[in-house]
Amino acid sequence: MSAEAGEVGARLRALLAARGVEWPAEIEHTPLSPSTNDRLKQRARAGAVEWTVVLADAQSAGRGRQGRRWSSPPGNLYMSVLLRPAPPDARWSVIPLVAGLAVGEALAAEGLDVRLKWPNDVMAEGRKVGGILAEATSGADGLESVVLGIGVNVAVRPPDLPPDVAAAVTCVAGRRIARSTRPSGVRRTTRPPP
């Protein structure tokens, strides 16, 4: 891990601590990842603990539901969180909805009028501003982990995106949100157990 990557994790931990939250696992940051979900699934298979986070400044192979391409240029929020069910039960099927509510709450706190579009889109001004991708891994004993991916278009304006994407999205740009506070805003609602 680079010094910069460690600094991002340390700043995020400090922001969370200022809100009374101690993050219970590693926060990995990288300037570029093919996919934060794929990176975290690798880490999960290697034994990463629940609540491990992977953040990236950009993704080269980001994706959404059904493998759809997720445009992931620098300047936006791309993060994945590892969840390990204990015991596994049907409540895990609501993870994308709960994550969408958390993202919506964080963006609403910044002044956006946010709506959720089933099953995984976060909408503002009638356009997509973010998305949620939950990917489960199962073994012989059932559900082993869920990697929860969150992408939010916080800085890249639609004209700077590919034409097929630009028509359907909006961004948070224009509202000053410190880059290092974005994940901690989402964190307000998705608290790990004490």
**Closest listed residue to residue 150, CA positions, set 59, 77, 86, 95:** 77
Residue 193 placed within a domain? no
Report pTM. Answer: 0.79
Residue 194 placed within a domain? no
Q: How far apart are the first and last CA of the chain?
A: 28
Number of domains in the chain: 1
Residue 192 placed within a domain? no
Residue 138 placed within a domain? yes
pLDDT by position in tens, the chain (length 194): 555 557 888 898 998 899 899 999 999 999 999 999 999 999 999 999 999 999 999 888 887 777 777 767 788 889 999 998 776 666 777 888 889 999 988 888 878 888 888 778 888 877 788 889 999 888 887 788 999 999 988 776 666 666 655 555 555 655 444 444 445 445 444 445 44
Specify the CATH number for the domain of residue 182: 3.30.930.10
CB 156 within 8 A of CB 171: yes
Structural domain boundaries, residue 78: 3-187
Work out whether the CA dihedral 179, 182, 183, 187 comes out positive or negative.
Answer: positive
